[in-house]
Structure 1
Amino acid sequence: MAFICPHCNCVAYTRTSRYLSPLTQEEYLQCTNIVCGHNFTLFRTVRETLSPPALPKAGIHIPMATKQRLIEMQLEIRRQKADTENQLELPGLTA
């Protein structure tokens, strides 16, 4: 997994990680900018359920996202899609 270095804004990659619980993981990252050289940790945690699982695990409770939150996420996805579709394509240049 990648993350942006908080110091130089370059990409930092996960070097190793460990699970602290079924819902939380600690990751150790290293900045790709050799001049910066920042090493740091972060936590990844499950925050909310967007759609219920087909195979729920006993003892695992993840709060369901509110209807308002789901609507906001749908609107954001539509906005991002519209932004992508409205980008100008220049002849001879490809992504």
Structure 2
Amino acid sequence: MRVSCPHCKQLGTIRSTERLSPTVSQHYVICSNRECGHTWRATTVADMTLSISSTPDPTVALPLSTHVRRAVIAQLIRCAAEADYTPCLTPPTTLDLFPPSGPDGPS
């Protein structure tokens, strides 16, 4: 991961990382510009899934990006088995949306 110095904009080097949670890490960074000499702490957060993991951790709950959601729903629809459905409360009806206007049907 590349981190730019907030002062001189040169690349910094991550010296150590402390994992605070499965989705949050703190990095201690030193600027590569010796004249600048800035050191700082940066925090990174995993905040969205862009591609689903092949080995997901059940304790991590990240929201899916919209394109992943569409792909997951499409896959579920493709793989879903068809089920017979019989309404319990109302009888099935197959009426026309617009009833015929006369004895010969629509005019």
TM norm structure 2:
0.58
CA distance in 2, matches of 1:48, 1:40: 25
Q: Secondary structure at the match of 1:47?
A: coil
Please, which runs of 5 or more residues in structure 2 have no aligned partner?
68-107
Q: Which has the higher strand share?
A: 1
Aligned to 1:82: none
CA distance in 1, matches of 2:2, 2:55: 29
Give identity over the alignment, percent.
Answer: 31
Larger Rg computed on CA atoms: 2
CA distance in 2, matches of 1:11, 1:38: 11
Aligned to 2:32: 32
Amino acid at match of 1:33: N
For residues 25-52 of structure 1, what are the alpha-carbon distances to aligned partners after superposition, in whole Å with 9 as ceiling and x for unaligned? 1000000111111000111111111122
* 1:2 Cα deviation after fit: 2.7
Count, aligned residues: 67
Please, which runs of 5 or more residues in structure 1 have no aligned partner?
68-95
Amino acid at match of 2:15: R
Aligned to 1:41: 41
CA distance in 2, matches of 1:66, 1:30: 36
